[in-house]
Structure formats: C-alpha cells, structure tokens
Chain A
Amino acid sequence: MKLTPVARRATMITIGALTLSLAVTGCSRGDATGGDATGGDDTMQFFLNMGSDTPDYVAFSEIVDEFEAETGYKIQVTAEASTFENNMKVRLAADNVPDLFSTHGWSLLRYSEFLEPLDDQAWSEDVNPALDSAMRDDEGEIYAFPGETNVAGILYNGDVLESIGVDPASLTTWDAFNSAAEKVVATGTPAIFAAGKDQGPIGHVADHLAVDLYDDDQKQETIDGTFVAEPMSEMLTVVQEWTDKGYFNKDYSSASQDDMARALADGTTAFEFQGTALLTQALAYNPDANVGFLPLPSATGGENYLVGGEGNNSFGVSKTSAHKEEAKEFLAFLAEPDNAAKLAEAAGSAPGLIGVDVDFGVLAPSYEKYVTSGTTPIAPYFDRVYLPNGAWDTLVAVTDSIVTSQSSVEAATAQMARQYDTLYGQQ
C-alpha cells in the first residue's frame, strides 16, 4: 500500500484520532445480552469460579437464561477460571464486590464478613446437615447457597485395580491400601497421582489424613490457638513413606489437576485423593473409564470416612449489593429441585439440599453405597475448620516439600507451626 507521505500521515492521524476519541469517552462495549459491560443499574453481576467451556458452565447458563426469562431480571455472568480467587480478593479489597459470586468452599471462613446472611431463606432448612459444620457459624447462620455437597475420598481406577487382582471394596484398611499400592507400583504405574504444579491437590492428601489423625481434644486445641504438632508429623510421615516407596507419579511437580483427570481416564494411575468432581472430568475424557471412589480408612480405629464440605458451586450474595432481593430470588430459583439436580449432575457431585434426586450415572453405585445411604461419616476439610484462614497454602507447601524431598518431616512440621502462629495472629 503505497500512499504519498502526506496521505499516509493523514490516514494515520485520522485512525489515531478515532481510536483516541473512543478511548477518551471511556466507552465500553455492550455484551451479548445488550446490556452495558459494567452492568448498568438494573443488571446483577454474577462472578463464577468456573471455566467457560465446562459442563458446569453450560448447565449454569441455561438456568440463568430461564431465570431471566421468568422474572425479567438481568444477570451478567462472568466465568473466571484459574484466576478467580485472586480476582475476587482484589475486588473485595477495592470494595467492588459482585452482587453474586462463587464462594467455592469458603463462604463461612473467608467471605462471611462480606456476605448477606441467608438463614431466613426457605431453602435454608433443606440444606444437607453434613454441610452444617462447614457452612454454618455458631449461631447456625448460613452465608451461601450450596449448589453441591463436595465429597472427597480415595478415587480409583477400577481397571488398574482389577489388573493386579484387587477388589476396590476390599480396601478398608491402610494395610490393604498399601499392599495394593505396592502391587501397582510393581507394574510400573504410579499408585498415587497428584498434581504438584497447581499448588492444591497435594493439600487434599494432607487434609484427608489429618482430619483422622487429630483426635477431638487436639482439634479443639487447634481451634483455640495452640498448634498441636504430633498428628501433623504423623501425617507428614505417612506421606514421606509413600514418597520413599515411590507411590507418587514421577512428574508430580509439573502435573496439573487436568493431568489428574486424564490419568484416571487413561488408567495410568490407581488412586487419587480429591473430590468426586474429578471423576466426572475423567469420564468426560473417557466415558468408558471404570472409576469410582472409596472412603478413607481410619488409622486411629475409628470408622472409615469421607471428607466433604462446601463445594465449588456455592453462591453468596454480597452484603453491599444493590440487588439483594433479586439475588436472593435467584438463589431460591436454584433451590428448585430440577435446577438443583441439574447443577449437581453437571458438577458430578452430591446435591447441597436434601430431597433432591440426582442421577449419578456411572458413579451411582459408589454414591449409593457411601453417600446417600448415610452410613459413612463425612468429616470436614481439616484446613478449613481447624486451621486459621490462609493456612491452606502452607499445608500444601509443606506436604509438597515432603513429596519433592525438599524438606524433612521435622522441618515441614516446624514451618507449619510457624505459619499457624502468624496466621492465627492475623485473625
């Protein structure tokens, strides 16, 4: 494109002026629903912890559309994936809180000071009692709508276990687990697959073990401000043993949570410690995968247990929202049995309310045996209930340091103790 210098300059200046004027007027683009990007006065802002190409999001968008059609209210949904938490913290700090947002397990412990109490809502009495310790405060007040009851335990790939001649149902003690793991490792497959890069999954291992190793008195002490070190060391020692025996996957440090789902789907691992939602992801990769979940054996002579609590798809209303009533209406809409079931199924989790029928598909046997029947106790996430807010990251870091052989059990426990004191002081 050969223009004369003058013409070229004139064109550039015109383009420049146009873009500048666009910029200066601070105008923004309207979104697909025709509303203003920032929402304008009558649109509710809904900030979700979800990837926009996930089944959760698809189900969710459908529900939102139905709600908008029924009530005429407008909801603008922003789905943020891996940077949701950071973004949320920045928004809270700037007092720019969305009307509705995912509380992803932290409605009580992190976000409650920013949330509208919801105990007066009709659905509140239908909340699964297993969630009480996780979501209700001392006065029984609840701060978010539970779209799911997160259930976590030992996830397994049945084909791998079959190939070494182990029946999953027989794994009711740690001895049985360890011997099965040995056999798996002997075939060259990692026994336990964990994702080190995402700074999260290994913390689940810690949570699952710790909640059993701490007895009630020790748990109370930890809540009250004294860090009890022995059970923590015990937990880390178990992890150390597993590391020494080579149970973990070789690429632990660079594996992501997505790799965990793939490993279960492809049968390249036997066990994982995570929530059951990961099984749904695995099934998305391979619908024929033979996967399921088991309760964790108790090392202290107690009952075998699952870990559970507030799930990722839990939603709260901001205390400072200008649309509180409409937002609460939306939550009530979510509480309707069909919608609640839809949400839970898409997430691959148990529902958050009782009386909701969910089709668990391939996972139905596991769910019926352990969850719906109510015979297996569900323990809370150790770090959420017993450790001060912010300790999760340290729990992940110290457990990770054992798996990557960067630290000893003593040093890791000491680090946990130090951070506990700092964080407890912060509260």
Chain B
Amino acid sequence: MSEFSSTAAAAKRGGLLPRVFKAVFITVAVLVQLTPFYLALTTAFKPQSDRSSLWLPPFAGATLENFETAMTVGRLDWALENSVIVTVASTLLVCIIAAMAAYPLARRPTKLNRFVSLALLAMLIVPPLSILVPLYTMLSDLGVLNTFGGLIAVLTTLHLPLAVFLFTQFMRSLPISLEEAAAIDGAGTFTIFTRIVLPSLKPVLATVTILTATSVWNDFAMSSYINNAASMRTLAPSVAVFFSAQGTNLGAAAAAALLGLLPILIAYLALQKYFVKGALAGAEK
C-alpha cells in the first residue's frame, strides 16, 4: 500500500560510479545535517566545569544537571505544555480556515478572487517587527496578552497565507469533474467541499500540517512578546532565557533545545508516512 513510486528506479541506470557517488553524497549530507545536533548533545550532557572539546563525549562524567536546570529554572515543563496547546490549536485552525479559503480561490478565479489571492500571499512578506507594536497594543487593549487565545489567534493568522497558497495550488490540480458532477446532482457548495474536496487533500494537508506545526512550535519573535509571563511562555523564548548578559549557560540551553525537539520530532515521524504516501491518491483518475 505505501509503495514509493518506481520513477526513481526507472530513471536510474546501473553502474558502480554513479552509485558510489550517490552514496558518498548522501553520507556527507546526513553527517553535515547531524553534526550540530551531535555538538548540542555533548554540550547538554557535560557539566559547566567540563571544558573539554565539543567533539568529545563527556568522558569526565555525563550529567543530567543541565536538563534539570532547563526544567526547573527554565520552566521547560510549562513551556512544553504551552507549546503543545498553542501548536495543536493553531495547526488545526490553520488547516480548516485555509482549506476553506482556498476552495473559492482555486475554483472561482474571478478578478476579485485573484486579487484576494495576491493580497493574502502578500501578507507573507510582512516583517514581524513592522506590526509588532501596533499588534501588541491591540492585544493589550483587548486584554488577551499572556493568554492562550491571544497567541493562538495571532500565530494562526500569520500562518494562513502560506497554507492558503499551498492548498490553492493543490486544489487547482484536482480534476473538477467530480465536483461538477456532484453539483449537477444537486449538492450544495459546502457539501461538495467536505465530501469531495477535503478527502482528496490528504497529501497537501500533511505538508501544511507539518510546516505549520513546526513553525508555530518554534516561533520566537511573536511568542516572546505576546506571552511574556514565565508561566505562559512557549518553547523558543524559554531556550532564550539562558542567553543573558549575566552569563550564557550553553549547557542548559542545549538541554532545553533538545528537550524541545522531541515532541515535534515524534509528530514528524508519525506524520511523514502521510507526507509521501497517498500522494498518488490525488492524481488518481
């Protein structure tokens, strides 16, 4: 069922040299990508007094004190919980709102809709700082600073443009015949959307989910201002706590970073099957 296409196999030709080259290429790529994580690992497990080279594992004795510091001083326990709530809610909202928005933009390319598409896409390039103070003032006046609702609303909004774009692109490539048939049968717009369009969105839905969830999970700029109180902080600002003028605790920062990576890594590994599987479903005739 979860078969990868054999395009690559069909396109490949035998021969030792290309295969060796490919193997070296991939090995180098993997090593390069993993090196920073390895350094973070060794740093996280060494006590502050261990000044040995970062390449070396903690031969002098590994310690969990950095992880402890991260959890107690950095309040990573709160941060992880907060991030989970904010990320799940935002991602869900983004998927629903963006898919809904993409449908008319993909299927009804009127002048108005083309303008709306462009305008939404334009929101992608707004530098966060440009809207920070007015946005912060608005949130403060509404009284939703340091709440889940406020942060979720803002992060959802900021991730809509890309999601709408991806959904629109994908929907345009879906054959319209099924929808038209259902319309002739008398189905309403919303029914067509939920019964026919949504189910075939699986592959792009997986893409949007992972991209949005990762981005919200790791958001730093907005979260650090909007949810500033220690109990409401999310992940990235909590890692940044260890970079202060009074002393940078790289070990604790590394520990916090690694702890924060775990949940999103698990989510990715669970979702990646959907990423590539079922890509054929949309192209089915």
Q: So, do A and B actually touch in the complex, CB under 8 Å?
A: yes
Q: Spell out A's residues near B (CB within 8 Å).
A: 15-16, 19-20, 22-32, 37-38, 50-54, 56, 76, 78-83, 87, 90-91, 93-96, 198, 200, 256-258, 261, 277, 281, 284-285
**In the assembled complex, B224 has its CB within 8 A of some CB on chain A:** yes
Are A94 and B140 interface neighbours, CB within 8 A?
yes
Q: Find B230's partner among A19, A54, A78 (CB 8 Å cutoff).
A: A78
Are A54 and B224 interface neighbours, CB within 8 A?
no
Are A51 and B246 interface neighbours, CB within 8 A?
yes
CB of B65, distance to nearest CB on chain A (Å):
11
Q: Find A51's partner among B82, B93, B247 (CB 8 Å cutoff).
A: B247
Are B228 and A20 interface neighbours, CB within 8 A?
no
Segment at the A interface, from B21-29, B36-44, B142-150: B142-150
Which residues in A have their C-beta under 8 angstroms from that of B100? none
Name 17 extra pairs, CB < 8 A, besides A81-B241, A261-B247: A16-B92, A22-B85, A27-B149, A30-B231, A51-B244, A51-B247, A52-B230, A78-B230, A82-B244, A83-B240, A94-B137, A96-B136, A96-B140, A200-B245, A277-B246, A281-B246, A281-B247
Are A37 and B229 interface neighbours, CB within 8 A?
yes
Indicate with 1 or 0, residue by residue over B147-168, a CB within 8 angstroms of chain A CB atoms.
Answer: 1111010000000000000000
Are A23 and B149 interface neighbours, CB within 8 A?
yes
Q: Which residue of B lies closest to A52 (CB)?
A: B73
Q: Spell out B's residues near A (CB within 8 Å).
A: 48, 69, 73-74, 78, 81-82, 85, 88-89, 92-93, 132-133, 136-137, 140-141, 144-150, 152, 224-225, 228-232, 237, 240-249, 252
Are B245 and A96 interface neighbours, CB within 8 A?
no
Cross-chain pair count, CB within 8 angstroms? 133
Q: Find A87's partner among B147, B225, B230, B248 (CB 8 Å cutoff).
A: B225
Are A258 and B248 interface neighbours, CB within 8 A?
yes
Are B149 and A25 interface neighbours, CB within 8 A?
yes
Q: Find A80's partner among B69, B82, B150, B228 (CB 8 Å cutoff).
A: B228
Which residues in A have their C-beta under 8 angstroms from that of B85? 19, 22-23
Are A26 and B150 interface neighbours, CB within 8 A?
yes
Instruction: Give A281 to B148 CA distance when docked, in angstroms.
Output: 37
Which residues in A have their C-beta under 8 angstroms from that of B137? 93-96
CB of A175, distance to nearest CB on chain B (Å):
33
Which residues in B have their C-beta under 8 angstroms from that of A51? 241-242, 244-247
Are A52 and B132 interface neighbours, CB within 8 A?
no
Which residues in A have their C-beta under 8 angstroms from that of B232? 28-29, 37
CB of B113, distance to nearest CB on chain A (Å):
28
Instruction: Give A30 to B93 CA distance when docked, in angstroms.
Output: 25
Which residues in B have their C-beta under 8 angstroms from that of A37? 146-147, 229, 231-232
Are B92 and A20 interface neighbours, CB within 8 A?
yes
CB of B109, distance to nearest CB on chain A (Å):
31
Which residues in B have their C-beta under 8 angstroms from that of A32? 231
Are A198 and B245 interface neighbours, CB within 8 A?
yes
Are B69 and A53 interface neighbours, CB within 8 A?
yes
Instruction: Give A29 to B79 CA distance when docked, in angstroms.
Output: 11
Which residues in B have their C-beta under 8 angstroms from that of A257? 245
Are B245 and A38 interface neighbours, CB within 8 A?
no
CB of B181, distance to nearest CB on chain A (Å):
23
Instruction: Give A19 to B84 CA distance when docked, in angstroms.
Output: 10
Are A23 and B247 interface neighbours, CB within 8 A?
no
Considering the complex of A and B, which 5 residue pairs feature the smallest CB-CB distances, nearest first?
A51-B244, A81-B244, A26-B149, A31-B231, A258-B248
Which residues in A have their C-beta under 8 angstroms from that of B248? 256, 258
Are A52 and B241 interface neighbours, CB within 8 A?
yes
CB of A46, distance to nearest CB on chain B (Å):
11
Which residues in A have their C-beta under 8 angstroms from that of B242? 51, 53, 81
Which residues in A have their C-beta under 8 angstroms from that of B146? 28, 37-38
Are A82 and B247 interface neighbours, CB within 8 A?
no
